[in-house]
Amino acid sequence: MKTLLLGANGQLGRSFIEDGGLAARGELVTACRDGSRFDGVGVETVDLAKPATLTALLDRIQPDVIVNTAAYTAVDRAEQEEALATRVNGEAVGVLGAWAKAHGALVVHYSTDYVFDGAAHAPYATDAPVAPLGAYGRSKLAGEIALRKSGAAHFILRTAWVYAPHGKNFLGTMLRVGAERDELRVVADQIGAPTSTALIVGGTLAALDAWIAADAAERTALQGTHHLVANGHTSWHGFATAIFDGAVKRGLLARAPHVAAISSAEYPTPAKRPTWSVLDNSGFARRFGYSLRDWRHDLDGVLDALSRHHA
């Protein structure tokens, strides 16, 4: 099996490379926008902002599986750059799907809780009505639609509140700002499931293993849209508090700042965020036999990794 991993320098792409699971399952080709990987390894150059360039790359590499971790993720900036966001998150995904359909390849693509409006009070099912609130959510929904319409074999894996020991994310921001300030104001009325890239990598590999072992009929039943998020839920305020508690315990911070709970209205942003971002992930565990851990478990794991590096 030859796998092409797009977005090698992103949070999730880097986690796939460091995990080693994709490489263990066959030949792995990695690609990023500038052709230089985070670890200094030279890789393929690909820019999803230029969808017309993708077909030549795919023709040359001839992957059996395309794992697309590349995305436009600047949620607020997308309000001014919706055309660019839609090229990367929508049109380019359609190109991947068209090539995969013509060549019998599988596309693994990641989507987001932002395709929903956040007005629910129970976890969103995979087939719940979509109604994105902003440009980023619309661009990600465009990618889902394009991939489904392509007719390619695919996994659309929706996730949310993603973080890792590396890259730009809420956890890293909290640790940096928490070391500088005595008090922080954090939104307490947006609810979701903080999800580590380690959980997403493990879940993806479980889905791929099921796909590899399945016959044609079983593959048809396996493919489609799945929710790959941690179990449980909290607010951004709750997540921040847990980060600081764990960081102090491990010596990553000398003391925890006071975390004041505020409303979304007190922290206005260009893009409106969903109030409720909890996704129903029960089907994923049943279908792929992969236990989706509580969000606190993986937070401990990430803080442990940072502690080892810090030491």
Q: Which residues are catalytic?
A: 136
Within 8 A by CB and 6+ apart from 133, the residues are 114, 117, 118, 271, 272, 273, 274
Residue in 292, 136, 162 with CA at minimum distance from that of residue 239 = 162
The span from the CA of 133 to the CA of 117, in Å, is 6
**Within 10 A of 42 (CB to CB), how many other CB atoms are there?**
9
Q: Which helix (H) or strand (E) holds 16?
A: helix 11-19
Q: CB under 8 Å, gap of 24 or more: what pairs does 122-127 form?
A: 122/278, 122/280, 123/278, 123/279, 123/280, 123/281, 124/227, 124/278, 124/279, 124/280, 125/280, 126/158, 126/224, 126/225, 126/226, 126/227, 126/280, 126/283, 127/225
Are 43 and 30 within 8 A, CB to CB?
yes
> What are the b/e assignments for 104-136, b being 16+ CB within 10 Å?
ebbbbbbbbbbbbbbebeebbeeebebebbbbb
Q: Which helix (H) or strand (E) holds 195?
A: strand 195-196
Within 8 A by CB and 6+ apart from 8, the residues are 14, 17, 30, 31, 32, 37, 38, 43, 69
